[in-house]
């Protein structure tokens, strides 16, 4: 039996998979679903996720994966004469 390799988790020692974290970010920032409502939805589905845990996932994922993009955009903005 040949098994496909398991994809690396975005956050080590975390319950969140890449798709779960992406889904919570999508719900929060695109669909405007507050964290406490996401928490209620997960509890209803049998997954006891605290809204603080989900918020920490968002913070850590953004720090780890988007910090270099943020710095690049910041450096480009600082080159401009006028920043809006």
31 part of a folded domain: yes
Find the length of the chain: 84
CA distance 82 to 36: 39
- Residue 70 inside a domain? The answer is yes
Residue 50, in any domain of the structure: yes
- pTM for this structure? 0.76
Does any domain span residue 26? yes
Query: In a 3-state reduction of DSSP, which class is residue 6?
Result: coil
Domain tally for the chain? 1
- Specify if 7 maps to a domain: no
Q: How far apart are CA 27 and CA 4, in angstroms?
A: 30
Q: Is residue 37 part of a domain?
A: yes
Per-residue pLDDT of the chain (84 residues; tens, 9 = 90+): 888 888 788 888 888 888 999 999 999 999 999 999 999 999 999 999 899 999 999 999 999 989 999 999 999 999 999 877
């Amino acid at each position: 039996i040949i098994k496909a390799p398991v994809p690396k988790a975005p956050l080590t020692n975390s319950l969140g998979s890449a798709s779960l974290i992406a889904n919570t970010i999508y719900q929060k920032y695109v669909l405007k679903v507050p964290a406490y409502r996401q928490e209620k939805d997960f509890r209803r589905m049998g997954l006891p996720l605290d809204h603080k845990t989900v918020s920490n996932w968002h913070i850590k994922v953004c720090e780890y994966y988007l910090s270099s993009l943020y710095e690049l955009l910041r450096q480009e903005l600082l080159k401009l004469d006028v920043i809006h």
